[in-house]
Amino acid sequence: MTKKKAVPGSRVPTHVAIIMDGNGRWAISRGLPRLAGHRAGTENLRRIITACTEFGVKYLTIYAFSTENWGRPREEVDGLMRILEDVIDKELAELNKEGVQLRHIGRLEGLDPKLQEKVLEAIELTKNNNRLVLNVAFNYGGRDEIVCAIQRIIKDGVKPEEVNSDLVSRYMFTAGVPDPDLIIRTSGELRVSNFLIWQGAYSEWYVTSVYWPDFDKEELRKAFDTFAKRDRRYGGLSQTVEE
């Protein structure tokens, strides 16, 4: 009789952030166009959202489109925009039913007005859900977020002596959301890629060579198992050393 693997217990991270990398390489390795990989990655996201709710994750942040991604070929950029619109059209009702609250982090400026409207409608529809908060980082960049926060702080006339870490956090796109406990990057790349630079200061990182479309519930479990063994010191000493 096969022993059923236990679901991660009390050390499940409250906030998980994911750099969903490797869609294009996944497609190319199968002789498919890159956009086919992005669609496969989108389909996988639905499964990972379900797994996160089952495991008890409260916040999930996904890196969907960076401020640097505008430099990709026009065909790919347009395709990614269509994919986002399709996801909203096809998945919104089910996500709302399952208690997922959708939020956008980044700048909506630059997106097609129709797409902006759909994003805002999705946020409004799901604003009272609390089973899982899903932050979608679209047209997002960590440096741009910090610049935006500084601009708003100056505009609000905040005095220099009043500026501290807590205040800056309140001006971030993620205001009101705890910093990520665990940041996962698929496809094996060892880069931060301008993602949650401020919020990820003390996050644990988990990097896997698995491409995003193949990163399933069991791979997520592995990440959580690894996280559960980490000694999070936040710049201090571990409990063992102190003793």
**pLDDT surpassing 80 at residue 1:** no
Q: Which of 7-16, 56-65, 138-147, 158-167 has the lowest mean pLDDT?
A: 7-16
DSSP letter at 221? H
Question: Is 52 a domain residue?
Answer: yes
Known catalytic residue at 69: yes
Cβ-contact 182, 16 below 8 angstroms: yes
> What is the count of structural domains for the chain?
1
pLDDT, tens digit (0-9, with 9 covering 90-100), for 73-126: 999 999 999 999 999 999 999 999 999 999 999 999 889 999 999 999 999 999
State the average pLDDT over residues 37-66. Answer: 96
The backbone torsions φ and ψ at residue 79, rounded to the nearest 5 degrees and listed phi first, read -65, -40
Question: Is 56 a domain residue?
Answer: yes
Question: Is 2 a domain residue?
Answer: no
Residue whose tokens read 């198992």: 225
User: Could you say which of 21, 144, 179, 181 is catalytic?
Assistant: 21
Task: Indicate the average pLDDT of the chain.
Answer: 93
Residue 149: CB partners within 8 Å, gap ≥ 6? 168, 171, 172, 198
Question: Is 170 a domain residue?
Answer: yes
**pLDDT surpassing 60 at residue 209:** yes
Question: Is 124 a domain residue?
Answer: yes
Question: Is 220 a domain residue?
Answer: yes
What pLDDT does 2 receive? 45
Question: Is 167 a domain residue?
Answer: yes
Order across the sheet with 182-185: list the strands. 100-105, 132-140, 59-66, 15-19, 182-185, 204-207
User: Could you say which of 69, 96, 129, 194 is catalytic?
Assistant: 69
State the average pLDDT over residues 172-181. Answer: 98
pLDDT, tens digit (0-9, with 9 covering 90-100), for 14-46: 999 999 999 999 999 999 999 999 999 999 999
Range of the domain at 182: 15-228
What pLDDT does 5 receive? 53
**CATH number, domain with residue 194:** 3.40.1180.10
Known catalytic residue at 225: no
Question: Is 242 a domain residue?
Answer: no
Q: Which of 56-60, 107-111, 211-215, 224-228 has the lowest mean pLDDT?
A: 107-111
What pLDDT does 242 receive? 52
State the average pLDDT over residues 228-239. Answer: 78
